[in-house]
Amino acid sequence: MFMTLTCSLSSSPSISKFISSHPSLTLLESKCTSMRDLHQIHTQIIKTGLAKDPFAISRLHNFCTNSAFGNLNYAILLFSHTQNPTPFMWNSLIRSLSKSSAPHLAISLFIDMLHSPTQPQRLTYPSLFVAYAQLCSAREGAQAHGLVVKHGLDSDRYVLNSMISMYATCGYLPEAYRLFDDCNEFDLVPYNSMIMGLAKKGLIDESRCLFDEMPSKSLISWSAMISGYVRNGKDSEALDLFHRMQCEEVGPNVHIMVSLLGACASLGALEQGNWIHEYIDKNKLECNSIVITALIDMYCRCGDLAKAIQVFDNASVKSLSTWNTVILGLAIHGHGKDAIQMFSRLESSGISPDRVSFISILTACSHCGYVDKARYYFSLMSEIYNIEPGVEHYGCLVDVLARKGLIKEAEELISTMPMKADKIMWGSLLSGSRSIRDIEIATRAAMGIFESDPRDSGGYVMLANGYANNEEFFDAASMRMAMKGKGVRKEPGSSMIEVNGCVREFVAGGILHTQAVEIFEALNGLGLNIKSAFNLFGDGK
């Protein structure tokens, strides 16, 4: 009730008269556009004796918490120096803190409120549950749920929706479902919360069932479902749903476009990605650093590096993620020198590289075999930028050493690093040792893979091939038998191509493709033609 009253204060005749009789409040209403202005107005309020007036302080506080020019730290300072904060000040500050980078402060303030003369109201709890959701602390949030029930607020629509959102966001789906079933009439908010919660837990089919049964859908509903598909690796389904969205003439927002660009990147759907880029430009959607980064990532992963560089060069705002993405794109395409130059540009830009930046540049060194450069960047990150190398950084260094045949140095690095090697690192060592036919190190590397992941087929296959290359056929056969005995199967290879905007996937030996019979007939025909041509060539004709 107090929130409603304060939101309409300036339209009330008596309040307007009160404001007009106090020049400081008149300025606050009409001229205050920065914290510097607010500081001056605050000074005038203190001079005129209005500092003890709860309404005047509430107006200052409201500017700090709700204005685009506000300052949360100043709001906290105002609140702490107010003897009897109004309910509006309590609720406003809890709401602002719940959405900040320190949501735990909202919970601390709520606890203070419980011990104050001003008790929580129905408008207090939604912000509180937002804070618990931010912290993924549904177990603690359940205690606040108990207070809601105790005060008879559990049937309030806004409080109920915020609790559903908290439980769903934190993965407490049974609790979320129980509250969801209590909703007597259709409401978009709990549906959207459940769709996002189910998708986050990997229950994407259940999420789609809820989506389909909604009598009406908001843009958030479409965004939640599309991003849920992408998050769960259902990229084709995400694009299909987007096409349905277009048929229903629902205009997408930037969040949906970023999700779709991620789907195109995973599928290698360059044609679709190009169309989305054109759509963003044509409809003048906000092209912030997140969109720019998603576009660069899509073009890099779809093989159009020139377009990725063009997008990067034309970007007016470049975040660190944007730099990292373009460096990694250059790296995976084997443009090591260009990646190094781009890293130098990053250092000169005034933005300090982070852990991901060094993974990107070390990957470039690995792909191009720049051993000395890799050692240099590995030392640079700790000596100049105070970044402790992680397992990914060690993995890149091991990989470049193994690729260049420096197997003993690579194995020594693994044995001396401060963390346990993962299977990717052991795989790099195994691959490198196999290439120089060092079967002893290859065997130790394979053992490391088996210890990290007993179900990984790569170690068995590479070691068996290593034995075969050394003409140790008995050991190769034994490794194959051990693999079979443990029920470890090699994952079939697959490839994808884009034809007329549709992505087709082909799996080695696969029979599930809709045109599998025709494909195998064509392959058999090609085989016969090759055999015939070979026989002709063999006869000297």
pLDDT, mean of residues 68-79: 77
Q: Provide the pLDDT for residue 9.
A: 34
pLDDT, mean of residues 365-382: 93
In a shared domain, residues 54 and 90: no
In a shared domain, residues 179 and 89: yes
Confidence label for 113 from pLDDT (cuts 50, 70 and 90): very high
In a shared domain, residues 94 and 176: yes
Under a CB-based contact definition with an 8 Å cutoff, are residues 85 and 99 in contact?
no
Longest dimension (CA), the chain: 110
Q: Provide the pLDDT for residue 472.
A: 67
Counting residues of the chain whose pLDDT is more than 90, the rounded percentage is 50
Residue 374, pLDDT > 80, answer yes
Q: Provide the pLDDT for residue 12.
A: 39
In a shared domain, residues 180 and 112: yes
Higher pLDDT, 98 or 471: 98
129-179 per-position pLDDT tens digit: 999 999 999 999 999 999 999 999 988 999 999 999 999 999 999 999 999
Angle between the N-to-C axes of helices 138-150 and 125-135, in degrees from 0 to 180, rounded to the nearest 10: 160
Q: Specify the residue for token string 């927002």.
A: 253
In a shared domain, residues 47 and 97: no
Confidence label for 77 from pLDDT (cuts 50, 70 and 90): confident
Under a CB-based contact definition with an 8 Å cutoff, are residues 504 and 496 in contact?
yes
In a shared domain, residues 96 and 161: yes
Flag whether 364 is in a domain.
no
pLDDT, mean of residues 22-44: 62
In a shared domain, residues 38 and 114: no
In a shared domain, residues 105 and 163: yes
Burial (Cβ within 10 Å: 0-12, 13-18, ≥19) of residue 394 = buried
pLDDT, mean of residues 430-434: 77
Q: Does the pTM exceed 0.85?
A: no
In a shared domain, residues 89 and 137: yes
Flag whether 10 is in a domain.
yes
For residue 515, the enclosing domain spans: 495-538
Residue 511, pLDDT > 80, answer no
326-341 per-position pLDDT tens digit: 999 999 999 999 999 9
Cα distance between residue 50 and residue 27, in whole Å: 14
Residue 410, pLDDT > 60, answer yes
Confidence label for 322 from pLDDT (cuts 50, 70 and 90): very high
Cα distance between residue 94 and residue 139, in whole Å: 20
Flag whether 316 is in a domain.
no
In a shared domain, residues 127 and 36: no
Q: Provide the pLDDT for residue 189.
A: 92
Q: Provide the pLDDT for residue 10.
A: 37
The domain total for the chain is: 3
211-239 per-position pLDDT tens digit: 999 999 999 999 999 999 999 999 999 99
**Of the residues 76, 101, 128, which one is the last residue of a structural domain?**
76
Flag whether 464 is in a domain.
no
User: What are the residue ranges of helices labelled H in 201-288?
Assistant: 204-213, 219-231, 235-247, 254-267, 270-282
Q: Provide the pLDDT for residue 198.
A: 95
Residue 13, pLDDT > 80, answer no
User: Could you count the other beta carbons within 10 Å of the beta carbon of residue 513?
Assistant: 14
Q: Provide the pLDDT for residue 158.
A: 92
Flag whether 516 is in a domain.
yes
In a shared domain, residues 164 and 92: yes
Burial (Cβ within 10 Å: 0-12, 13-18, ≥19) of residue 479 = buried
Residue 491, pLDDT > 70, answer no
pLDDT, mean of residues 30-38: 66
User: Could you count the other beta carbons within 10 Å of the beta carbon of residue 127?
Assistant: 22
Flag whether 93 is in a domain.
yes
Q: Provide the pLDDT for residue 51.
A: 64
Flag whether 528 is in a domain.
yes
Flag whether 151 is in a domain.
yes
DSSP string of 302-352, one letter each residue: TT-HHHHHHHHHH-S---HHHHHHHHHHHHHTT-HHHHHHHHHHHHHTTPP
In a shared domain, residues 24 and 116: no
Under a CB-based contact definition with an 8 Å cutoff, are residues 144 and 162 in contact?
no
Adjacent-strand bridge partners of 495:
506
